[in-house]
Amino acid sequence: MHPAFSVIFLTTLIGAGQGLFIALFLVESLGLLGMAPMQNGTFFAFGILASLILLGLGLFASFFHLGRPERAWRTATKWRTSWLSREVIVLPAFMGVVFLYGLAHWLNFNPTLFTLPGDHPVLATVALGAVGTLLAVALYVSTAMIYAAVKFLQEWHSPLTVVNYTLLGAASGFTLATAYAAWSGAQLVPVLASTAIVLTLLGLGTRIASLIRNARIKPKSTLQTAIGIKHPRIVQKSQGFMGGSFNTREFFHHKSDGFVRTVKWVFLIAAFGIPTALLALSLVMTVDPTNVLIAAALIQYFGLLAERWFFFAQANHPQNLYYQSAS
């Protein structure tokens, strides 16, 4: 497939924004449970602001994918059948909850909403955080299912796609949260950095699993089934036109095999190798690790851009059988 930068930025930016929100809610939960130092409202408010900026930029990027962005509101109508429609509903809902969560922290408005049996008070921010986390997971699933649900793209049609989108998004969000915690001076680097390392390594494992799976895929369609002629040797002599068409542009990356292979190694190193090393380094550093962690977050984000580019480029659409000169 042709990797469109609008979609690459959309999926990576909102993935990081969701991960950052989950990390912040984890920090609050651990603080309330007394397992980590409790942070003040400003810490959460600015963290949520960063998350909202990422989500907003992702949403902004997504409009560049549309031919008719002014009609984007219509996409909320077919949620019964279309994962794209579901994503379009979940994303603004999630952003709304994230905004309220940040606002409640910013205003220090945190009444007890209700009490669970056994005298456990439920604070407003905890309720919002729990709903937000559910929506974040729903958004990971919706975004990934847009790709995993297309059975014709066998490289995508796998539960690994959903797992990878979730883990890679969460890993980049946690790395970002670690950098933010270090920058704001919160004593959270050990817990966040170690979670980010675990998520990054889990993501590496499942991404390699999908690379292995995709390397062994046997295409379901062949030129023989495409035109219905059962002869082992069929050569296309004409595509029906000599210039390009939508079909020759949309479904192929138009880069060499060597370039694609290079991108694969770039993302394996930049999205997983370097960030893991830098996060581990921050755990043992005696000086301020802020710059190291900011570098880790930026390099990981760059690596995930490469990972998403590769994700699209690797998918081979059966329609390319009809356009042999393009594929």
Partner 1 sequence: MTQLALVIDLNVCVGCHACVTSCKEWNTSGEAGPLVDLRPYDADPTGTFFNRVQTFEVGEYPNTETVHFPKSCLHCEEPPCVPVCPTGASYKREEDGIVLVDYDKCIGCKYCSWACPYGVREVDAKRRVMTKCTLCVDRIYDEALPEWDRKPACVRACPTNARLFGDVHDPDSEVSTAIRENGGYQLMPEWGTKPANHYLPRHKTRITVREDELERSDNPLRIDSKLPKPDRDEPSLDDVTSW
Residues lying near partner 1 in the complex (CB under 8 A) are found at 1, 65-69, 71-72, 74-78, 81-85, 88, 146, 149-153, 220-221, 223, 225-229, 231, 233-247, 250-251, 317-320, 322-323
Buried/exposed code over 34-60 (b: 16+ C-beta within 10 A; e: otherwise): eebeebebebbbbbbebbbebbebbbe
Nearer to partner 1 (CB atom), residue 242 or residue 284: 242
Q: Which is nearer to partner 1, 41 or 318 (CB)?
A: 318
Q: In the complex, what is the shortest distance from the CB of residue 97 to partner 1, in angstroms, rounded to a whole number?
A: 22
* Strands 120-123, 112-116: pairing kind: antiparallel
CA distances from 286 to 82, 243, 281, 282, 296 (A): 51, 62, 10, 8, 17
Least Å from the CB of residue 312 to partner 1? 10
What is the C-alpha to C-alpha distance for residues 26 and 166, in angstroms, rounded to an integer? 16
Nearer to partner 1 by Cβ, of 65 and 264: the residue is: 65
If the CB atoms of residues 64 and 259 are measured against partner 1, the closer one turns out to be 64
Q: Which is nearer to partner 1, 64 or 265 (CB)?
A: 64
Smallest separation, CB 151 to partner 1 (Å): 7
For partner 1, which is the closer residue by CB, 89 or 198?
Answer: 89
Closer to partner 1 by Cβ: residue 28 or 87 = 87
Query: Least distance from C-beta 133 to partner 1, angstroms?
Result: 25
Question: DSSP assignment of 263-303, as one string?
Answer: HHHHHIIIIIIHHHHHHHHHHH-SS--HHHHHHHHHHHHHH
> Shortest Cβ distance from residue 319 to partner 1 (Å)?
3
Residue 142 is encoded by which pair of tokens?
A: 């919706």
Nearest alpha carbon to residue 307 among 54, 15, 73, 99: 15
> Cβ distance 289 to 282 under 8 Å?
yes
Residues 20 and 135 sit within 8 Å (Cβ to Cβ): no
How many Å apart are CA 126 and CA 123, to the nearest integer?
5
| Minimum CB distance to partner 1, residue 323 (Å) | 7
CB of 147 to partner 1, least distance (A): 9
